[in-house]
Each structure stands twice: as C-alpha cells, then as structure tokens.
Structure 1
Amino acid sequence: MKIKCLLLIIATLFCQHSFGQLNSKASAVISLIGDQINSDLQKDNLHGSISVAIVKNDQVIWAGAFGYAKMEQNIPADTNNIYRIGSITKVFTAALLMQMVEEGKIKPDDPVENYLPEIKNLKDYNKYSKITFRQLASHTAGLKREPDLHGADVGPLDQWEQKVLACIPKTSYNSKPGELFLYSNIGFAMLGLAVSRAAGVPYMQMVQQRILDPLHMTDTYFALPEDKLPRLAEGMSNGNGEVNIDLPVRELKGRGYRVPNGGIYSTPRDLAKFALSLIGKPALLSTQSRKQMQEVPPGGEKYGLGLMLYKSADLDVIGHNGSVPGYTSEMAIDQSSGYAVILMRNYNIGSTNLTAIAHLLLKTLKQTD
C-alpha cells in the first residue's frame, strides 16, 4: 500500500503543468484541490484517474492528471489522456443551432417539424402545440428523458440517425411543450438531426467544420482513431456497485442514437478551447447568440439553450456536466472572472463531486486575483 501511494504521488508530480498567470495564492489553492482529488482517488480504490485543466481569460494556465489511466496497469494518467465528455456534447449541438440562427436558416421558435417531419410520429404529437428548436435545446419540449425502445443506446456510429428515427415513435410526453423543464436525451438527439437537416450537412461534419477546425481542437473526436486508442483512459462503469469495463469498450463502436447529446471524446486541455469560445475568446458566436443561450425560456429551470446556469453571490457560471458508461465530466466557466475549469474522470461514481470541485476552484481562484 505504501508503494502504491508513493507511485500515485510521483505520478501526480510529473503530470502537472503550469502555463503562466499563476500567483502563489492560486498555486496553493490548486495544490490543496489536487491533494483532495488524490485522497478521493485512493478512497475510491478503483485505480482510476481525474484530469483537470484551468483556464484564465484566453489560455490554459494549469493542467494536471491524477491517478492511473488503466485499471489493471500502473500507467500514470497524464494530461494527454482522452476521455468521453458525455452530455457536454449538448453544448456543441446548441452552438450549431445558434450558428444556423445567425445565418438565417433557423429561427429558435420555428417548429422542428419544418426540418424533421418525422417528429410528428411522437406519441400524442397532435394533442399539443408544435415543438420548437428553443424547447428542444432547453429541455422544455415536454419529452421524457429516454425513448421506450430496447437497444436505443446500441448501434454503430454511422447509423445514429436511423436509430433516432426509430426512437421517435417510442418517445412519450411527460408534460405539455413549454410547460416544464425535463431533461431529455432523445430530445437533444432530435435537435442535432433537425439542425443537420436545416444545414444540409451531416451533424458530425458540422461539428468538425464549424467548431473543431476553427478552434484547432485536434484531440476531440466522435470516432476515436486507432492510433489514439493507447491514449484513452480506460472507462470503468461502476454505477451499480460493480465495475464493468466491457460496456465502455463496446461503446467505442457507437452509442445508438446518443451522438448529438453525448458522443464526443476529448481531453481537458482541448475542451478548454471550446469553453473559451463560449466567452468569446475566440468568438464562434456573436455576443447576442451567447446571451440568448443563457436565457431561460418559459417553463425552464436553470438551463438556457444547451447551457446549465448557476449564479450565486460569488459566481456566474455557465457550462455543463456529462456522464456516460465509464466516464464523467464537468465544464464550468465563471463569466465574472474569466476562469474556467474542466474535469474528466474515467469512472462514474466516486468520492469527488466534479461540479462541487469545479465551483470551489472557480470561487477560490477568483479570490486570489
């Protein structure tokens, strides 16, 4: 046990990188948080890892990785390890929607059926008002979280659109459109397909051309290339109390309909580039579009268009979290200070609350300025 702990400490020391703009107080804060993450990893006893990137203004100022990248091997995690980001993918989809709005191809309150007529196959569709893009992007369309279709989350990446269409007739309402907030994964998958239809360009191609390429996000993927597999932090699905490494491996080949709502792989440092774009550094979207993404629509609840919203006396946070079998993630951006924190973990249930740690880092780093 002593040797294992020593290895963990050594691994941590060699996987931290400061890139400037860190004063002594900020360094001390990060060190304390790092100690807490290390302690949590040892307590969880899964031989897993957490990777972190911290942003200030327009650059990554610190990155670090803690723990191990492989369950059965003593391979220390490093800042080049790749993780799944889960539902943070929804922010990418919402950004594409707003680009289409800026180009005049979509209006937020357009009926989705204009571009995705198959949505009319929803159960009881004719009983309610037509679902809009704004409602899908804000989880106020009234749709249940998941479709009632066996195997909806299974299937090759290149067949995700067909799986979405198969899910629609098996998707039910929980409330009237525009009445209540209800987080819906299938709703966001429909959104991604409808935006793609409006653009006349495949969804994954849109993400590549409109987001990844302009931001030089060279470590972000929907399909992980063979030569990148050694860098993948091995996912451990432990949601039911047992550790399953087979399910995350199976999902390398596809997640059924779950592409626009949870299909992306990335690293904290690469995802930080996207986080910066959400505060206009650089600006993928206009100031007006970014502001609109932060407006809670009727029936909504602390969620704009693809963005989770958190405000307190100390923070004004936008971002999202994510969880898929074997991986959890957090992207939190404090607009009042210019700090952002990205965290990725290669297991699901653990001692570290990623959202709480991110907000604590944002708050304490802000106080050091």
Structure 2
Amino acid sequence: MNNETKLMSVRDAIIMAMSEEMRSDENVFLMGEDVGIFGGDFGTSVGMLEEFGAERIRDTPISENAISGCAIGAAMTGMRPIVDVTFMDFVVYMMDNIVNQAAKTRYMFGGKGQVPVVFRCAAGSGVGSAAQHSQSLESWFCHIPGLKVVAPGTPADVKGLLKASIRDNNPVIFIEYKAQYNMKGEVPLDPDFVLPLGKADLKREGKDVTVITYGRMLDRVLQAADQVRDTEGISVEVVDLRTLIPLDKEAILESVKKTGRVLLVNDAHKTNGFIGEVSAIISESEAFDYLDGPILRLAAEDIPVPYNQALETAMIPSVERIKKYILKLVNNR
C-alpha cells in the first residue's frame, strides 16, 4: 500500500476520488448542471471532462427532477452515477425520486433491486448564499430507511468516504460543505485508500468531556478542544461521526461512558436536528447511568440563513461558543 500523502483542498480530494473510481470502473459517471465545460459550480469537476469525455461527464438541463430520475434509472440498470446536486437546497425538487424510488427499491424487490447512486450535496452557510442556498438538511434523509448519509469533515475523510459511497450498492447522500471547499489537509494518494461507511473516528482522545460532531463543525470543535486544553487544562475527547447513517453507536457510547459529560455540535437547525437523535440514543442506553450532567446540544439558530454576513456568522456555533459550552459542562454551571 502506498503511504504517500499530499496537501490538498477538499475540492481536489473530491476530484481525485471521483477520477480514481471512474478509472477503475467504467460504469461510474458524473452528471449534473455545469459539471462538464464549466467544471462544476464549485470547481469540483475541473479537468474531468478532458480526461473522461462528455459521455461520462454529462452536463444536464436545469431540472433536478429529471436529473435525479435519470440517475436512479441508470443505477437500477447497472450504472453507478454520481450526481452533483450543487446546492443541497435543490434536493427539494428531487425528494420524490430519492425518497420513494431510490430508498425503497431494494426493500420492495427483496434485495434484488440495487440503486448505487451518490447525490453530492453542497450544504451549509458561510459563503453568503442566503436563505435558499445555505441549508443543512441531513436530518430529512436520516429519517428515511434505505438511504445512507455521509458528512465528512477533513479532506482525507472526504476522499476515503466518497470512494466508499461510490462503491456502495445503496443510494448515498454525500454532504459537502461550501465553506470548506478550500480547506486543506494531507490526503492519501493511494487509489486503494477507502474508509468504511458507518465507522466514527476519534479525532482527539480525552478524559474530561466528549464532544460529538461531524462535517463543517469538526474543525471548530478541534480548535475549541485545543484552546481549552491549553488555557484551562481540560481534556476533550472529540468523536467525529463521519457517517450519520449507518451510525457508529458503539463509538458514541464508549466515549460517553469514559468521560461522563457530552456536548453535541452541528451547524443544522437545533429543533429536530440530527444531534437530537444522538442525544436520544445516549439517554435510552446504559450510557445514561454514566452521565455526570445533562447532555448539551449546540446547533444553528432556528431561523432561515441570513444574507447579512454578521448575522450569518452569528447563527451557527463559533469556536468561542463551543468553548463556553465545554466549560459549562466541566464546571457544572
């Protein structure tokens, strides 16, 4: 196995993952608005048209309903499509096809009907896209049996989990964060580097408090953990879920039992957000008896994402707010 890595952005990790899978499997192709000549609305397919041609890098009409229907049909007949949804908000137009066709086909046909399709969704705020182009809607899809939901927070995890999603025989909602396309990190260059779906990652070991998060908030949680360690001597354990469905419940419960305190963080709205499900899992399990205080949730405010930059910044958890919640848990105040 090649252990060589390269410093690259999330954007480049996405291109690498898709390109490697397309080279190894002729049934894999990319489709969506502006994925070809333009290279993707966020630059996530730059150079791929030149390598793979218009048959496999397919520009589509501006019709999310048609795009999702074609992708699911292609998946049912043996292809492995990747759909560039661009803004996650646009899945509203795809919901019937994703929820009533892609998610249910395998169950309704006794496992004989497979739908290996990946919907790549650019989610979250932070780039001034306003209320209709900045939502994090993962909780919608986590509610639907038959779908897998992936939300990586580092360039390396993006590569490894996107490759796993493309190879999976089930429909996958793959969440990318617009504000992090330029974020850089070391990424393995080995084409065989694939991370398993359903396996959380312990990004920091600690003993005083557990912070459970995923996606965009991971970087802020890690910053907060380092700062409270350096200034307050607090040892924070950071559990990165990476995939929401399937969920690594064992990793969650083991960490909670270890520290006795837990903070849940995401950038989606707090009411009915996914971290509420994680809280329920902890409360309903044997880990509840290990808690030394209440489970705390820190999430985005329950308002549409503002266009105003200051308001947009204020509505989602900051490093300072995460630190404040950690201190509240540890100091019981």
Instruction: Name the structure, 1 or 2, with higher relative contact order (CA <8 Å, separation 6+).
Output: 1
Output the TM-score relative to the length of structure 2.
0.26
Larger fraction in strand: 2
